[in-house]
Amino acid sequence: MPKVQASPGAVAVRFLPLLAAALLACWAGPLHAGALVAGPMAGFSARDKVTIWLMSDADAQVTLDYWPADEPGRIARSRPVGATAANGRSVHIVLDGLRPATRYRYRVRLDGQPALPDSAALSFVTQRGDARAVRDFSLATGSCAYLSDPPDDGSGARAFRIFEAIAARKPDLMLWLGDTHYFRDEDFEADAPARMNARWLATRRHPQLQHLLQTGQHYAIWDDHDYGPNDSDRSFALKSVSLDLFRRYWANGSYGLPDAPGIFSKVSHEDVDIFLLDDRYYRDDDSAPDVSGKTMLGAAQLDWLKRELRQSHATFKLIANGSRMLSERPGGGRRGGEGWHNHAEERQAFLDWLAAQRIDGVVFLSGDIHYAHLTERKRPGHYPLLELTCSPLTSRIHPRPNPVGAVSDTLVLEQNFCMLDFSGPPQSRQLALSVWNADGKRLWVRRYPASSLREQRLVE
């Protein structure tokens, strides 16, 4: 084909837009492209799907490249999801059509460009459908993550080293037991939704949190401080705003029921079912008279919990709640802090039902109280009920701890996180409970064979 010689005028017209763009770039500085500011965080997973959460600092089209870890050449790409001002640039990407019981690797792209170095070890695991082939796995947990406002009062960067200590344990799951940030009174003043969102952002964007968010898979519940004001209950006027924000920043898979809003749901991992409870949306004031009908969980949530427990075939059934569930009043007319003991009729009715149903493998998890301890509640004719209370991650220690009925040598009065390790073949599974300090030192461990948390069946 003969070469066509362009006239000088045509060349000038052709390059005029490029010249204008170059001059605009010099005057205005480089155009800002979206950058990853939080996450990515793997959340809910099932046999064939997983949800990944992340947040950008500017509008962007987000995609994920993902592949089975043992087949690095088999790369698929997700459909693009827009990170926009309307969703707070906080996005949830659901990957489906996955293989069960498979570890996948993935990378994040913003507007087609990699958002992290290729060396970033991002992965998630899909669930298996065969309970006879369970794997060993670990679950980290904790509550009460306070981030101070400037000027730092001592609960800032150094205290947040605990998140690196958790990530170093490489847990398969991280379960956040509430108070994942602390609202302030001014967050509920004029323009409250924007102020409340800003409080979420202040913690979620914290640099020392990112490594942990990128490690394992995460589930969460709330307690009073990430739901509303201190000791807040069902009367909190902005609870629907709190629910919307919780759904924006976590990826639990489901939240409440169609006719019963809230954050409660069930998730499963290997042979463990985790019942994530909502202890605020329906809660009556703890300090109100303990009369008939006083509730912490509400009738709809309690009915749901009982139904799910009856249907569960999991070896271990973890009931996770923000407030303590098995603690008792210290006596002398004192309430002994928030907890289900301040809703005594509701709690006793549930414990009686649990015994009558003879449900195996129940273990309670809680936070809130700013110290850690293990409770063991004896039940004649039934296995003892355990409650691991794990608190605080970065908040201050309670100045006057009073754990009623704590197991000997389990009280921890320093910032801490807890580990639950599940191991062994299906017929002889074991649960190890342990508490670790902010430097990653194990402070104590207790081991429970699944058989010790099982009802003795009557032989006819």
Range of the domain at 100: 36-125
CA 95/CA 102 separation, integer angstroms: 13
223 and 75 together in one domain: no
Report how far residue 194's alpha carbon sits from residue 118's, in angstroms, rounded to the nearest whole number: 35
Q: Is the pLDDT confidence value at 183 over 50?
A: yes
193 and 50 within one domain = no
User: Looking at residue 402, what is its pLDDT?
Assistant: 85
pLDDT in tens, 245-258: 999 999 999 999 99
Q: Are residues 71 and 215 in the same domain?
A: no
Q: What angle do CA 341, 345, 351 make, to 5 degrees?
A: 80
**Which two three-digit tokens encode residue 191?**
């323009």
Query: Which range among 25-34, 149-158, 160-169, 388-397 shows the weakest confidence by mean pLDDT?
Result: 25-34
Classify residue 167: in a domain, yes or no.
yes
Q: How far apart (Å, rounded) are the C-alpha atoms in residues 22 and 38? A: 32
pLDDT at 458 over 90: no
Region 228-235: mean pLDDT is 97
Average pLDDT score over residue span 185-213? 95
| Whether residue 96 is found in the same domain as residue 145 | no
Highest mean pLDDT pick, 126-135, 155-164, 166-175, 198-207: 166-175
Inter-residue contact 230 to 224 (CB < 8 Å): yes
- The predicted pLDDT at position 332 comes to 55
Query: How many angstroms separate the CA atoms of 434 and 444, rounded?
Result: 6
CATH classification at residue 235: 3.60.21.70
Of the listed ranges 22-36, 170-184, 386-400, the one predicted with least confidence: 22-36
Which tens digits make up the pLDDT trace of 185-196?
Answer: 999 999 999 999
User: Cβ–Cβ contacts within 10 Å for residue 305, how many?
Assistant: 18
- Band of pLDDT at residue 164, cut at 50, 70 and 90: very high
- Strand, helix or coil for residue 19: helix
Residue pair 340/360 in contact (Cβ under 8 Å)? The answer is no
pLDDT confidence of 171, banded at 50, 70, 90? very high
Q: Are strands 76-77 and 113-114 parallel, antiparallel or unpaired?
A: unpaired
Residue 30 pLDDT level (bands cut at 50, 70, 90): very low
Residue 17 domain-assigned (yes or no): no
Mean pLDDT of 174-193: 97
Residue 19 lies in a domain: no
Tell me whether residue 366 is in a domain.
yes
Residue 414 falls inside a structural domain = yes
In a domain, 12, yes or no: no
Other CB atoms within 10 Å distance of the CB of residue 164: 16
Whether the CB-CB separation of 90 and 55 falls below 8 Å is answered with yes
Please indicate, yes or no, whether residues 144 and 183 belong to a single structural domain of this protein.
Answer: yes
What pLDDT shows up at residue 230? 97
- Those residues with Cβ within 8 angstroms of residue 277's Cβ, 6 or more apart along the chain or in another chain: 221, 264, 297, 301, 305, 319, 320, 321, 322
CB neighbours (10 Å) of residue 138?
18
Judged by average pLDDT, the poorest of 144-153, 277-286, 316-325 is 144-153
Mean pLDDT of the chain: 89
Q: Is the dihedral of CA 310, 299, 251, 48 positive or negative?
A: positive
What is the number of structural domains in the chain?
Answer: 2
Query: How far apart, in whole angstroms, are the C-alpha atoms of residue 317 and residue 313?
Result: 9
Mind listing the pLDDT tens digit for each residue in 99-123?
999 999 999 999 999 999 876 779 9
* Residue 358 sits in the same domain as residue 432: yes
Domain's final residue, options 94, 125, 156: 125
Residue 404 pLDDT grade (very low, low, confident, very high; cuts 50, 70, 90): confident
Asked if 74 and 208 sit in the same domain, the reply is no
What are the pLDDT digits (tens) for 446-456?
999 999 999 98
Sheet holding 362-366: strands in order across? 265-269, 272-276, 316-320, 362-366, 382-389, 373-379
* pLDDT score recorded for residue 317: 98
Is the pLDDT at 3 greater than 60? The verdict is no
- Please tell me the least confidently modeled range out of 166-170, 342-346, 399-403: 399-403
222-to-129, 172, 316 alpha-carbon distances in Å: 29, 21, 22
Give, for 26, the enclosing helix (H) or strand (E).
helix 8-28
Are 168 and 207 part of one and the same domain? yes
| Residue bearing tokens 């790409």 | 77
Q: What is the mean pLDDT of residues 401-409?
A: 90
Question: Which has more confidence, 158 or 109?
Answer: 109
Number of helices (H), then strands (E), in the chain: 7, 21
Tell me: pLDDT of 175 over 60.
yes
Among 125, 140, 163, the domain-final residue is 125
Domain stop point among 125, 154, 171: 125
Residue 16 lies in a domain: no
Model confidence at 151, pLDDT cuts 50, 70, 90, reads low
Q: Is residue 45 assigned to a domain?
A: yes
Mean pLDDT of 207-228: 96
179 pLDDT above the threshold of 80: yes
Look at residue 152 and give its three-state secondary structure.
coil
**Whether residue 66 is found in the same domain as residue 174:** no
Residue 76's CATH number: 2.60.40.380
**Residue 45 confidence (pLDDT) above 90:** yes
Backbone angles phi, psi at 83, to 5 degrees: -90, 110
Average pLDDT score over residue span 191-214:
94
Percent over 70 (pLDDT), the chain? 88
pLDDT of residue 1: 36
Give the pLDDT band (50/70/90) at residue 290.
confident
- Same structural domain, 80 and 152: no
Residue 17 has pLDDT above 60, yes or no: no
Sign of CA dihedral 11, 14, 17, 22: negative
Give the three-class secondary structure for 214: coil
- pLDDT for the residue 200: 95
Q: Is the pLDDT of residue 88 over 50?
A: yes
In a shared domain, residues 239 and 106: no
For the cut 70, the answer to whether the pLDDT of residue 429 exceeds it is yes
Are 119 and 169 in the same domain? no
